Structure 1
Amino acid sequence: MTLRALLAACLVAAPITAQASDIRMAITVDDLPAHSALPNGETRVGIAKTFLAALKDAKAAPVYGFINGVQTEREPDSTDVLKIWRDAGHPLGNHGWAHLNLARIDVATFEAELTRNEPLLQGLAAGSDWRWFRFPFLSEGDTPEKRAAVRELLKARGYHIASVTMSFGDYAWNEPYARCVAGGDQKAIADLETRYLKAAELSLAHSRALSATLHGQDIPYVLLMHLGAFDARMAPRLLAFYQSLGVTFVSLEAAQAHPFYAADLAAAPAAAAPVTLENAMAARGLPAPPLSLDLAALDQVCR
């Protein structure tokens, strides 16, 4: 079944009561201040300014940028991105110091990663709530015990967990784009642009279909993006695409005030599974067709 057919079937089974203009979406951006390959002729600051300009033009609500402090050491020139982000009125959150996968580290290492980011956040994010955490790789660990312990730790330190209910693998376009820029392949870049927007369309349909089945309407969605060069290039068109469908951009706090996100908002250790639409479907014994995006094919572009 195609995603369009899936959406249609779900609408028959559980009609969405809200109109298209009622779709609410919180944009969140991972891997500040530096993500993926840097194309020839571009800078991290330039990428950030382009992305932020698109948010301003779209009149987006404040957008959380989740930081990996290690990048300020790996690419010192990228540090200004964090100040620029804050000066534009957007908040920052914690993404772990070095973006380590919780499935591959122990709880003590996780705590060190969490707290090592905090002085940077305290210095930059004064006057905002920076105690939001986004799991690197969206991994909550490899055992129930580790997952519970980490959630206890986050709760004790006053964190909310930033959920994800919409993602189209945007990160996968940034390295191919840098290769195409290096090779001057404008035709390939145009093809990447088409694929990127199509993936966003499929992801939106997928999330809406699952929400329709679970709730009979759209919940507020939390979109995961990254601060990459191709993301910045595409941001004006991506945001305009969403708005053409009636999407309203809301804050992360507003989106996660919906009951669906209660376990993450509270960093509740007792949560049965990571808070995703797919897991909610599984908990009800309902099949959730995967979002089929051929990201692996991007690895061959401009080789």
Structure 2
Amino acid sequence: MRILFSAVLALALSGAAYAADKPVIAVTWDDLPAHSALPPGVTRVEVAAELLKASAEAGAPAFGFINAVQNEREPDSAPVLTMWRDAGQPLGNHTWSHQNLASLTPAQFIAEIERNEPALKALMGPEDWRWLRYPFLSEGDTAQKRLAVRAWLAANHYKIASVTMGFGDYAYNEPYARCMAKGDQPAIAELERRFLDGAAADADRARAMSHALFGKDIPYVLLMHGGAFDARMAPRLFKLYQDKGFGFTTLAEAQKHPFYKTDVEPGLPPQPTTLDGALRAKGLPVPPNPVDLTPLETLCR
């Protein structure tokens, strides 16, 4: 299988394969207004300002997904959501408190979605906020849960925010806070290297999978998180993608592609809307994940 994938990868990454269309990414930011640990002296407002500045300078629309419970847990983070809207960027539903559907009943999970809605209505006004990003990307531990929640989403005019690109950016924010607290600059440099290398390798993997499935690029949906290290790295991350030939687009525009149809219309029978899931469904080889996050767990302990 590894040999077969190598042949597919070689074809997919050839110049001829990429000649037709410029690939595009829709960048999405989960866990607003407060994600993970902060380094000493850094505020949530500063993190959001850096993320929004980098997004504006790169021309990368920044769809944010909120857990409104954080306005209560960290009141100082509350301005973040207003800042996001003032910057002209949209917000969607990541549930009230980021619980995993696998540990809830459908009714409990739906209540989590609904409890988040007043904040979204107030922030988004007449604009479309009915996008759900599942916490932990989990649609539950049973088919029954998955279908029950999807039926509710369809009845309430929600779309599901898919993910077709992501390199575990969330895992960098805790060690970054630890390393900053210790003033360990070599370790921070190591985090930066791993972050950019992981993003590059994941982008290559996503493109190879798309080309194996379709012979071309689909619009990709990138999962990111609103953390302090993400903010530090956002300008370099966007430049990395641009240097690799990517442009940026909105979530709604990206998910017009037929690959995302059953997430945009969740009342339909669900089909795989991850690239590796689609490959498995077709009996095609799935490339190994090139990103190893385990070294981050012990950094600056």
Equivalent positions of 1:194-205 (< 5 A) are 194-205=193-204
Equivalent residue number for residue 253 of structure 2: 254
- Separation in 1, partners of 2:101, 2:17: 39
Equivalent residue number for residue 9 of structure 1: 8
- Residues 29 and 65, structure 2, Cα contact 8 Å, conserved in 1: yes
- Residues 66 and 92, structure 1, Cα contact 8 Å, conserved in 2: yes
- How high is the sequence identity, in percent, across the aligned residues? 56
Equivalent residue number for residue 280 of structure 1: 278
Q: 1:167: Cα distance to partner? A: 0.4
Equivalent residue number for residue 82 of structure 1: 81
- Separation in 1, partners of 2:20, 2:295: 32
Q: 1:152: Cα distance to partner? A: 0.3
- Residues 198 and 290, structure 2, Cα contact 8 Å, conserved in 1: no
TM-score by length of 1: 0.95
Equivalent residue number for residue 238 of structure 2: 239
Q: Secondary structure at the match of 1:69?
A: coil
- Separation in 2, partners of 1:189, 1:195: 10
Residues 106 and 87 (structure 1 numbering): CA distance in 2 closer, same or farther, change over 3 Å?
A: same
Equivalent positions of 1:214-229 (< 5 A) are 214-229=213-228
- Separation in 1, partners of 2:121, 2:129: 8
Amino acid at match of 1:72: N
- Separation in 1, partners of 2:227, 2:7: 33
Q: Secondary structure at the match of 2:78?
A: helix
Residues 134 and 281 (structure 1 numbering): CA distance in 2 closer, same or farther, change over 3 Å?
A: same
- Separation in 2, partners of 1:240, 1:112: 40
Deviations 1:262-286, CA, capped at 9 Å, x for gaps: 010111351144x111111111111
Instruction: Structure 1 unaligned segments of length 5 or more: list them.
Output: none
Deviations 1:182-228, CA, capped at 9 Å, x for gaps: 00001110110000000001100110110010000111000000000
Instruction: Structure 2 unaligned segments of length 5 or more: list them.
Output: none
Q: 1:2: Cα distance to partner? A: 8.8
Deviations 1:226-266, CA, capped at 9 Å, x for gaps: 00000000000000110111111000011000010001011
Amino acid at match of 1:34: A
TM-score by length of 2: 0.95
Equivalent residue number for residue 299 of structure 1: 297
Equivalent residue number for residue 191 of structure 2: 192
Q: Does 1:28 align with 2:28?
A: yes
Q: CA RMSD in A?
A: 1.9
Q: 1:291: Cα distance to partner? A: 1.0
- Separation in 2, partners of 1:178, 1:14: 37
2:287 to 274, 286, 289: 289
Equivalent residue number for residue 48 of structure 1: 48
Equivalent residue number for residue 160 of structure 2: 161
Q: 1:14: Cα distance to partner? A: 9.3
- Separation in 2, partners of 1:242, 1:127: 32
Aligned length: 300
Q: 1:63: Cα distance to partner? A: 1.8
